[in-house]
Amino acid sequence: MKFGKEYKQQMVAEWVEAYMDYNGLKRILREIRQSRAPKTPQTPLRVLQQRFSMYSPFRGSEIELRNQQSRGDIEDQVIKVSPLVGESNRTFYRTRLLFPSEEIGAEDEVNFFKKLDEELNKVNTFYRDKMDQVIKDAAELKKQMDAFIALRIKVQNPGTKESDPAVATKPLKATTQAQASSSSESETGGGKEISSLTNDGSDYLKVLNHVRINDTLQGPISVIRGILRDFKDKKLSFSKQELKQVEERLKTALTEFYQELRLLKNYSFMNLSAFAKIMKKYEKTTSRYAARSYMKIVDKSYLGSCDEATKLMENVEHIFIKHFFHANRREGMKPLRPIKRREKHRVTFLSGFFAGCTISLALAIILIMRARKIMERGQGSNYMENMFGLYSLFLYIVLHMLMYAGDIYFWKRCQINYPFIFNFKQGTEVGYREVFLLSTGLAVLALASFFANSNILIGLTMSENNNYAKLIPLLVLLVFVCISLCPFNIIYRSSRYFLIKCLFRCICAPFYEVTFPDFFLADQLTSQISAIRSIEFYICYYSRQDFPRGQAKCHEYGVYNAFYFIIAVIPYWIRCLQCVRRLVQERHSIHGYNAMKYLMAIVAVVIRTVYELKSGTPWLVMALITSAMAVAYNTYWDIVVDWGLLRRNSKNLFLRDRLLVSHKTVYYIAMVVNVLLRAAWLQLVLEFNVQGLQKTTISTTISCLEIVRRGIWNFFRLENEHLNNVGKFRAFRSVPLPFNYHNQNDADEDDNDNDKDD
């Protein structure tokens, strides 16, 4: 593999702009090569002479002579790199050419070294900033480890006191040190020292006098307690459960910190390799030997001389293995090593097999229905209406999964780091092949049961015993639910549980801190109102003794109609509560405007549902007005806020400056399609009569179009989120630490308050 491709593959997606512009420098070298090319036309005789000259017996001696000259004074006369002190006492580099500027291509070479210096300064600045932040994080983790070790001693030995000699021996102390050099302007290292991530003092237990447990108010009970008690960080309880929770949070924090160090180390290595490769190409293009001089400066720069990342990685490995895995290196290194999912051939095979079965079953059902003329019979038509209401649930789920599989495929094509955005556990994220396999498997299960059900029930006679066959859709639903909740490590358990966890957090929206997966899933639910109503129909259909009566009869029950309203509102209400939580927590007005968007959608859905059940001109007018306002507001929010498009001063007309899709027409088409599919919602209010289509078919089609629109929205929403991460160079997760250090004065005040209370 060529270095250019490997260099691109090894880049951290969110740091692409911080890497050395290898392709840009190659373009300048290409211009230099073209300017040095002979102006005379290349006749066949001249080309033949050049080829023979390559194999001249004196060719090797000439090359050797030039190499010998390059090691001498000639190389020193090509360039001179001068270190300069800039803002914040940071060192920058400037290269001056020492050969005559009248030579052919000299201007391009000046541009080359100017660009090269800019890239070196850019990379040095970025790497220094990241390492400064890493040093601060390492110091914070050191304090956290001190408190953790003290807590472990206190929990394992409740009677231990600060003056106990056993504490001073410190059997848990780490032996390795991670030396970290801060930004010294001589670029040689020296300065600050980062000690190991454990305390070297004489008393661990004194640390416990200055720490409390961070309570992030996760969960309904903790939030309510925090509101009632004027929330403060909890004091230590010295329980085993508390120790276990602290241990898990520290393991997660150290794992993320180690991954950050690994990426920084790889960033340094790849950029150093890029500078070496580009200087080698410069020598080959210009026959000037300046690589040795320039690479000496690169090696002395902060990028080449700083080895804090390597030392800290060794220290983290030692601490992680010793304190969390009982010095078992094999087990301790497993969470630290990067995990990549392997593509399995059986997934591709089963996906194709299930897809073929899905198409075959769908065609068989259509042919049987046409051959038996089921829709022309009164009883058969009633049966199909009921079965369609039951099986439409699987239609919505399968279509949504297919759209999600397509999104994953294009996210990977466009190098959008969706596992990081969704905060998937490393190595557990499912790819588009796996999602496609699950969707086609569910489609085969639903279509096979529908095929069996229709063959059993649709015949010459109908008897009461056949009612048991009508339980088949319910059995399929129960199988689907059991697979989703299955505790065994089969069928992508980690992904299933991640989905269930996010769903639970959505239901308890105001009591949990809102993360991207939470509100992303809640947005998906707003496009699955018809699927949620199908679950209500399941309950109505099978909870009555006369369940074969059908869907139309369910609307005769007041309870069914009440929940018909509530279910349609729940997804929008969840998103509204999430926006309110973020508004209170982040104090950003945009979350308030977002909450208003969902309130407008709630009003539109309620009035439209009233019109659907009662009809009447006044309700029609109100439904049209509220639906039009909600569609306009939601469409604007989709395109401008969620997708980040329609920018006034963008270099791309009506788009944004950064685009991951090379064809700009895709964005214009997506905006138009989004508007049209949003407007299709009005069909449920206007009720245009389409010849040959029933009302149920029209509403189902519009629900499917909404799912398609949501799938398109998903791609551009994540693209915009990824570009925001790129703009902020955000490539790591922020992990909440377990301990919060406070001053001794605060502790004294608390003690005095306690004495007064006593």
Domain boundaries, the chain: 1-338, 345-727
* DSSP assignment letter at 206: G
Among candidates 335, 337, 349, 501, which has minimal Cα distance to 493? Answer: 501
- Phi (first) and psi of residue 158, to 5 degrees: -60, -30
In three-state form (DSSP H/G/I as H, E/B as E, the rest C), the secondary structure along 518-538 is HHHHHHHHHCCHHHHHHHHHH
Q: Given a cut of 60, is residue 109 above it in pLDDT? A: yes
Task: Let me know: does 437 contact 535? Beta carbons within 8 Å.
Answer: no
Query: What is the DSSP annotation of 674-698?
Result: HHHHHHGGGHHHH----TT--HHHH
Question: Exposure of 623 by Cβ count < 10 A (0-12 exposed, 13-18 middle, 19+ buried)?
Answer: buried
Question: Exposure of 77 by Cβ count < 10 A (0-12 exposed, 13-18 middle, 19+ buried)?
Answer: middle
Pair of tokens at residue 332: 């301790």
Which residue bears the tokens 């049966």? 383
Helix (H, G, I), strand (E, B) or coil at 38: coil
Among the listed ranges 76-80, 624-628, 630-634, 750-754, which one has the minimum average pLDDT value?
Answer: 750-754
In three-state form (DSSP H/G/I as H, E/B as E, the rest C), the secondary structure along 91-109 is EEEEEEECCCCCCCCHHHH
More confidently predicted of 705 and 222: 705
Residue 376 pLDDT class (50, 70, 90 cuts): low
Pair of tokens at residue 368: 């049987």
Q: How far, in Å, are 205, 386, 539, 540, 561 from residue 551 at the CA level?
A: 68, 6, 11, 8, 12
Q: How far apart are CA 676 and CA 681, in angstroms?
A: 9
| pLDDT value, residue 168 | 42
* Mean local confidence (pLDDT), 480-492: 91
List the beta strands (DSSP E) in 214-324: none
Q: How far apart are CA 472 and CA 468, in angstroms?
A: 8
Among the listed ranges 81-90, 503-512, 644-653, 704-713, which one has the minimum average pLDDT value?
Answer: 81-90
Helix (H) or strand (E) holding 67: helix 59-70
Task: Let me know: does 303 contact 127? Beta carbons within 8 Å.
Answer: yes
* DSSP assignment letter at 30: H
Question: Position 233: which residue type?
Answer: D
Q: Strand 211-213 relative to strand 739-741: parallel, antiparallel, unpaired?
A: antiparallel
Which residue bears the tokens 């992990």? 735
Residue 42 pLDDT class (50, 70, 90 cuts): low
More confidently predicted of 458 and 354: 354
* DSSP assignment letter at 515: -
* DSSP assignment letter at 4: H
**Whole-structure pTM over 0.75, yes or no?**
yes
Pair of tokens at residue 739: 């301990």
| Cα 146 to chain centroid, rounded | 32
Task: Give buried/exposed letters for 246-276 (b at 16+ CB in 10 A, else e).
Answer: bbebbebbbbbbbbbbbbbbebbebbbbbbb
* Mean local confidence (pLDDT), 461-477: 71
Residue 198 pLDDT class (50, 70, 90 cuts): low
Length of the chain: 758
Task: Let me know: does 466 contact 376? Beta carbons within 8 Å.
Answer: no
| pLDDT value, residue 327 | 87
Helix (H) or strand (E) holding 284: helix 240-286
In a 13 Å sphere around the CA of 133, the CA atoms on its Cβ side amount to: 13
In a 13 Å sphere around the CA of 417, the CA atoms on its Cβ side amount to: 22
Pair of tokens at residue 740: 């919060």
Q: Given a cut of 60, is residue 281 above it in pLDDT? A: yes
Among the listed ranges 8-22, 370-384, 623-637, which one has the minimum average pLDDT value?
Answer: 370-384
Query: What is the DSSP annotation of 159-202?
Result: T--TT-HHHHH-TT------------TTSS--S-----SS--SS
Q: How far, in Å, are 166, 674, 702 from residue 709 at the CA level?
A: 66, 6, 10
Question: Position 340: which residue type?
Answer: K
* Mean local confidence (pLDDT), 194-216: 64
* DSSP assignment letter at 341: P
Among candidates 662, 652, 739, which has minimal Cα distance to 140? Answer: 739
Numbers of helices and strands, H then E, in the chain: 29, 4
Residues with Cβ within 8 Å of 659's Cβ and at least 6 positions away in sequence, in order, are: 652, 667
Q: What percent of the chain has pLDDT over 70?
A: 77
Largest CA distance in the chain: 106
Q: How far apart are CA 188 and CA 43, in angstroms?
A: 55
Among candidates 329, 334, 310, 330, which has minimal Cα distance to 318? Answer: 329
| pLDDT value, residue 202 | 44
558-567 pLDDT tens trace: 788 888 888 8
Q: Given a cut of 80, is residue 349 above it in pLDDT? A: yes
Question: Exposure of 382 by Cβ count < 10 A (0-12 exposed, 13-18 middle, 19+ buried)?
Answer: middle
* Mean local confidence (pLDDT), 713-739: 89
Pair of tokens at residue 175: 């032996």
Residues with Cβ within 8 Å of 415's Cβ and at least 6 positions away in sequence, in order, are: 13, 660
117-153 pLDDT tens trace: 999 999 999 999 999 999 999 999 999 998 898 888 8
Q: Given a cut of 80, is residue 188 above it in pLDDT? A: no
Task: Let me know: does 365 contact 285? Beta carbons within 8 Å.
Answer: no
Range 331-337 contact pairs with CB under 8 angstroms and sequence separation of 24 or more: 335/251, 335/255, 336/255, 336/258, 336/259
Q: Given a cut of 50, is residue 722 above it in pLDDT? A: yes
Residues with Cβ within 8 Å of 570's Cβ and at least 6 positions away in sequence, in order, are: 525, 532
Q: How far, in Å, are 47, 147, 418, 429, 521 from residue 404 at the CA level?
A: 56, 44, 12, 13, 12
Pair of tokens at residue 29: 């070298």
